[in-house]
Amino acid sequence: MGGWVEGDPAGDRRFVDLPALSLERGGRLPGVRVAYETWGTLAPGGGNAVLVEHALTGDSHVVGAVGPGHATPGWWAGLVGPGAPLDTERFFVVCANVLGGCQGTTGPSSNAPDDGPWGSRFPEITVGDQVRVEAALADALGVERWACVVGGSMGGMRALEWAVALPDRVATLFFLASGAVATADQIGTQTTQQAAIRADPRWRGGDFPLDDPPVDGLGVARRIAHLTYRSAFELGERFGTRVQDDGRFAVASYLDHHADKLARRFDAGSYVLLTEVMNTWDVGRGRGGVAAALSRVTARSLVAGVDSDRLYPLALQQEVADGLGVPLQVIESPYGHDGFLIETETVGSLMRDLLG
């Protein structure tokens, strides 16, 4: 149960250890380990590097099979590889597990200096902190400027932060199914998920044993979240009011499956921490507002959203597109927010257009 921990098979992960990090909200980490994966070969000068940013429950395993160290297959299969939109015969593709995650990068389930898990002691972090860690990783890899930074959902937040905070290091930006600032609807949904986890007696204030995590609370949180990731139309067409032989509604069985699946590979502490990072997201904070922040972007940009997305509706991408002075690209899909992961043919076509 839970995420990857030290001693588990590394799988395709590589690791880099970074020095102490002072955090935006005043905390400090004495060091950060970053887990990442790469595909392709870095060109002399590093100009062919692409950074792929994963979403809330993603990790560095963008493409690849299930195997030791990888409980699930790659989450964006078809987009990375020889001849793919992110052609590994042309590009050096990098994806890192995010700061605060639970798939090899320092987070609440990682060991603190006293060799016990950080747990509730893990400091508050921001999207800006996460991007500064990724910038240090880029330095370690010899990447001065990304040919492209691409991300959807929570990954879109980091992609946009890169383009705003470090404009000279981003040549092109692909911002997908996300927003420039958290909305009340998103915050309300995510704080409800946090409350479900904290209500589980096994939460223990965030200091639970890793072999006895609050899987019931995490499962409820995942059920709530998954309903926001899909559209009402798709759920209705797929399940309707059908009842299974075991007496469960078919849609409830579907949500149970995803709750159990997440509990086997994700840490509840990371879930609470990362949803709070999303709640505090505002690219305009300290920069004079969203419009002023977006005016700092120099990257050639593509902004896209999913027409049936009820968690990050098109109006949020339209705001970013308008601020960057580019047209909004609309992905037609019945799948809701998850359409950015599922409609790989359309996403891949847009990526080819951006990268030329």
CA dist 235 and 254 (Å) reads 10
Residue 309 is a catalytic residue: yes
Q: Which of 17, 45, 50, 43 is nearest to 31 (CA)?
A: 17
Of the candidates 59, 87, 337, 338, the residue annotated as catalytic is 337
Q: Please state the length of the chain.
A: 356
Q: What is the bridge-based pairing of β-strands 28-29 and 21-22?
A: antiparallel
Whole-Å CA distances, 331 to 2, 70, 320: 33, 30, 16
Of the candidates 109, 153, 301, 308, the residue annotated as catalytic is 153
CA dist 181 and 280 (Å) reads 8
Of the candidates 109, 309, 333, 338, the residue annotated as catalytic is 309
Count of CB atoms situated within 10 Å of the CB of 47: 14
Residue 337 is a catalytic residue: yes
Q: Which of 284, 278, 270, 269 is nearest to 311 (CA)?
A: 278
Contact 75, 60 (CB under 8 A): no
Residues designated as active site? 153, 309, 337
